[in-house]
Amino acid sequence: MWCFISSSPCATLTQSRSAFTASQLSTTSTAAKPSQSSKATLHMNADKASTSDKSALKNRSKELTGDAKGTNQWIKRTAARAMLRAVNFKDEDFFKPLISIACTYTNATPCNSHIGELGEELQKSADQLGCKAFTYGTPVISDGETMGTSGMRYSLVSRDLIADSIETMHEGYLADGMVTLGGCDKSIPGALMPILRNNSIGVFLYGGSILPGHLNGKDMTVVSSFEAIGARGAGKITDAELEAVEKNSCPGPGACGGMFTANTMSSIIEAMGMSVPYSAAHTAVDKNNKISEDKLEDCRRSMQALLTCMEKGITSRDICTKKAFENGITICMALGGSTNAVLHLLALAHEAEVDLTIDDFN
């Protein structure tokens, strides 16, 4: 059991973090943020891992690519391998475990506009660890952009569509492990639901929060724009001032900067043990709007965590127990998180077959 929680989940939140770090990443035995030396150890471990044979972890994907040369199964899968060679699979790749990477990418919203880059980084990490990865996308609907329009009708249902899309790709290609990425509101629970649905071996990674905008010496967020709408309606600011707020609220990629649904759910999922420690707190990009070093490190740690889960046979439901969900609820309450957490945690518990009800939030 990974989430070592007492009757007071908040009291042992750091324990669940340290357990995850020690058992999965093998970089530190405490809940402290990974140091430069521990990061170096992680990279050395990754280099060693890349030279070792991982074929024993190819439990499912051999049905797709074939098992061993000369067998009937190998011969039957010739056409599949021929098609895979067209997308840069090499001879050795057919003996590696196959990793599916769900990139909930779109350039229609800043929350997920950088997710494709994170997917590429995860692919590199998979290669370094002796695995072979493929990426794919899903629909993404932004609440912040569509609310107040008929487009909002598609927001909540997109969560389940995202989950179904990820399940379809992962199961259809018989991948051995999965990393799913989320950014805006519905893509976060939607990215975790399919991992739990089939009790898969998987890890979730949050794309990260946006950096603050700046105007007249003050930090700005998307909420600044909403507030400015009200101020303009009340005649407190001019059209020019409203436009200035609009142009300076959202400076680049990342989810809405506040304890709204995205940052709430990413914090909850980390507390539950399904993402690597501190990844919920790391911003998407740096001041130059390049993927932040912390987030790049999150990619490497997430793939290493997935590999450890595969080696130890640790599935998502081994992690997401009733106590883990209680841990998530506690961190939500402690942070004053979004009430949407109730909706999404109940859906996640349903997928994990955990008996969670609305009464558990009281």
* Element (DSSP H or E) covering residue 284: none
Tokens 């759910």 belong to: 265
pLDDT tens profile 199-216: 999 999 999 999 999 999
Asked if 135 and 105 count as a contact pair (C-beta separation under 8 A), the reply is no
Spatial separation of the C-alpha atoms in residues 289 and 312, rounded to whole Å: 37
Residue type, 187: S
Asked if 189 and 104 count as a contact pair (C-beta separation under 8 A), the reply is no
Asked if 221 and 212 count as a contact pair (C-beta separation under 8 A), the reply is yes
Q: Check residue 28 and give its pLDDT.
A: 30
Q: Check residue 39 and give its pLDDT.
A: 52
Spatial separation of the C-alpha atoms in residues 212 and 219, rounded to whole Å: 6
Asked if 186 and 144 count as a contact pair (C-beta separation under 8 A), the reply is no
Q: Check residue 159 and give its pLDDT.
A: 98
Burial of 11: CB neighbours in 10 Å, binned 0-12, 13-18, 19+: exposed
Average pLDDT of span 34-56 = 58
* Element (DSSP H or E) covering residue 177: strand 177-182
Q: Which of 125, 52, 131 is nearest to 93 (CA)?
A: 131
pLDDT tens profile 240-287: 999 999 999 999 999 999 999 999 999 999 999 999 999 999 999 999
pLDDT tens profile 131-165: 999 999 999 999 999 999 999 999 999 999 999 99
Asked if 294 and 121 count as a contact pair (C-beta separation under 8 A), the reply is no
Mean pLDDT of the chain: 89
Spatial separation of the C-alpha atoms in residues 174 and 77, rounded to whole Å: 13
Average pLDDT of span 7-17 = 32
Spatial separation of the C-alpha atoms in residues 294 and 277, rounded to whole Å: 11
Q: Which of 270, 284, 143, 142 is nearest to 209 (CA)?
A: 284
Pairing of strands 98-103, 132-137: parallel
Give the list of residues 6+ apart from residue 337 with CB closer than 8 angstroms, or none: 259, 263, 264, 267, 268, 331
Spatial separation of the C-alpha atoms in residues 325 and 321, rounded to whole Å: 6
Share of the chain above pLDDT 70, in %: 86
The per-type count for the chain, helices as H runs and strands as E runs, is 16, 6
